[in-house]
A and B are shown apart, each in its own frame.
Chain A
Amino acid sequence: MTDRQYIIGEFSPASDDDLIICRCEEITKGEIRRAVFDGMFNICEVRRLLRCGMGLCQGLTCGRLVKSVIAGEIGLSATALEDATARAPMRPTEMFIFAKEVTDE
């Protein structure tokens, strides 16, 4: 979903907007919904704006939930949306550890 002109109607508040979706960064359903109405139709854009999925757990917990909130607002099934990009490191790793990379094996 990259067509930013796609019209999904007016944002209207919902009773569960205060629900926390991303537990690490404490991003609510309302914030994610608002981002979708602002034209961000995929996980990568939403996470760059809100940081959902970029906390300590790296989206291992909320990835699917964020996806389903976005899909729900656009009116798509969650499987139709791309997952967030998967890239190293897959587990949180401090920078000093990378600095000590063993390369001569």
Chain B
Amino acid sequence: MRIINHPILGEAAPRKNITFNFNGEEMTGFSGEPIAAALRANNIIIHRYTRKFHSPRGVFCAIGRCTDCVMIVNGRPNVRTCVTALEEGMTVTTQYGAGGGA
């Protein structure tokens, strides 16, 4: 899903590869990119399941407004993954409901 070469933006600038943990699985992403982008590149598009109807949600606005993409990051629930930078060794977990049970 990564756009390596783009007709207008050119070749992607080299970025630092790092590893993070998604639901217990080791994945790689770029340091500093939004968590949501790293997940999309790893083909993960379900970020959470809602409290009432247990329905899946993913990236919807990508600019930190809608809060649909929130997940549990390093143990903290309700983190907007579209505007939170990925860091080496981060633990990212699918959020169920308000995330209190994690």
In-complex A–B contact (CB below 8 Å)? yes
| Interface of A toward B, CB cutoff 8 Å | 20, 23-26, 55-57, 60-61, 92
For residue B66, CB closer than 8 A to chain A, the reply is yes
Contact of B78 among A20, A25, A26, A56 (CB under 8 A): A56
Residue ID in chain A nearest B61 by CB atoms: A61
| Interface of B toward A, CB cutoff 8 Å | 50-53, 55, 57, 60-61, 65-68, 70, 78
Question: How many pairs, one residue from A and one from B, have CB atoms within 8 Å of each other in the complex?
Answer: 29
Establish whether residues B52 and A26, one from each chain, have CB atoms under 8 Å apart when the complex forms. Answer: yes
* Beyond A56-B70, A61-B65, 18 additional pairs, beta carbon < 8 A: A20-B53, A23-B57, A23-B66, A23-B68, A24-B68, A25-B52, A26-B50, A26-B51, A26-B53, A56-B67, A57-B66, A57-B67, A57-B68, A60-B65, A61-B60, A61-B66, A61-B68, A92-B67
Cα separation A92 to B80 with both chains bound (whole Å) = 11
